[in-house]
Each structure stands twice: as structure tokens, then as C-alpha cells.
Chains A and B, each alone.
Chain A
Amino acid sequence: EIVLTQSPATLSLSPGERATLSCRASQSVSSYLAWYQQKPGQAPRLLIYDASNRATGIPARFSGSGSGTDFTLTISSLEPEDFAVYYCQQRSNWPPTFGPGTKVDIK
């Protein structure tokens, strides 16, 4: 089973700042990595699929990059609604697995 490690566990930033979240896989997942956002009491929302493709309806301030074992989710300028927990998920190897999440909170 592929283990995903996310860093940092918590990221404290102010609105308008740039957020950079990392996801590292225990072995290559090629580009089969997705990013999800989850707010308290809500279901997760797909942001990015296949490492760098924004899901339909997702604002352009969200971008994903990386391949193999190292991936990054960047939020170019944080909006108030972006403070949430972000999870990465791989679907390269069975079973699909999620990372433990990065919480982006308000500084």
C-alpha cells in the first residue's frame, strides 16, 4: 500500500498570502494524484486531479504540480473561504490511499 505523507500538518497564514502544501508518496504514483478540500461539517471537494488538472468550477488560484513521488498544491492568494483541511489521494496503486491532511488556518 502506498503511503502518502503531507507537510506541514498545519499551515498558519493570512488572507492574501500564498499557500504551498506538499504531498510525498512512498513510491511513484506517476501523475495519478488528486487534491481535496474539506471544511468542517462538509464533504470533501475535488480540487485537482491527475496532479495538475483543476476540476471543473475550481478557481484558478488553486494549482497542482509534481509527478512521481513529490507533489505540491499551491493556493496563490488565500481567500477567507480557503481555510480548510486539504488531502491528497493517489489512485496509481491498489488500494487508493489518502494522505493525513494539511490544515490551513488563519494566522
Chain B
Amino acid sequence: QVQLVQSGAEVKKPGASVKVSCKASGYTFTSYDINWVRQATGQGLEWMGWMNPNSGNTGYAQKFQGRVTMTRNTSISTAYMELSSLRSEDTAVYYCATIAAAGTGLVGYWGQGTLVTVSS
């Protein structure tokens, strides 16, 4: 079955960078875009950007431009999201997600989330 498994929780200091991984299984990794969404504690969902795992093309929300980089390693079916110049406001759960074809419809798959805590 389709799974997205993310790397474990991280604690970072302000100004540092964090790189979260998202390993896909159960489908052809290059077939569907990967989106990254974050959620601060008790808050709503915030879309960060997307990546086409086949071409490597990316698109980022303006808020994160210059600080976020989304990459992939197709040989191990893994997507990465790196966020730099971390500040306390970046403390959140980070999710990878994809929407895949299933029969005549679509189904959404999400990773389990990675908690990133930014604290001095």
C-alpha cells in the first residue's frame, strides 16, 4: 500500500537549518507531485510548496522563497524539504503529501508529520 514515511523530530537553534525527508513506497515515486504543508501547534494548515519528483521542478510559496529548498533522490524514492534561517515561528509539524490516482478517482496520502522545534 502507498505510504509516505517522514524522518523523526528535530530540535534546532534559531538561525540553523533543518532537512526533513519523506520516503515514498507502494507506488511509482516519480508519478505524482509531492507537496509540503506545515502546521503550528493549535493552528491551521499552511502550504509551503511542491515538487515534481520526475523533473525536479519546484514551486514555493512566496513566504518561504529564499529559505526553502525541495529536492529528491529518485533512486531511493525520497523527497526532502530543507528550511534555513530557522526562527521560533517555524516551530511546527511539517507534512509531505501527495494525491494519487486510485481506480477512477483520487486519493490523498500524507506522511505522519515531523515536528520541528526551534528554540535557543
Contact = CB atoms under 8 A, between A and B. Distances in A.
Contacts, number: 58
Chain B CB within 10 A, most for which of A38, A43, A44, A100: A43
A82 B99 CA distance: 22
Question: Main SS of chain B's interface residues?
Answer: strand
Interface size class of A (residues with CB under 8 A): 20 to 34
Interface in B69-117: 95, 97, 99, 102-103, 105-108, 110-113
A56 B47 contact: no
Interface string B37-57: 100000011110000000000
Interface residues of B, number: 22
Contacts of A57: 102, 107
B62 interface: yes
Interface stretch (A16-24, A46-54, A71-79): A46-54
Interface of B: 35, 37, 44-47, 59, 61-62, 95, 97, 99, 102-103, 105-108, 110-113
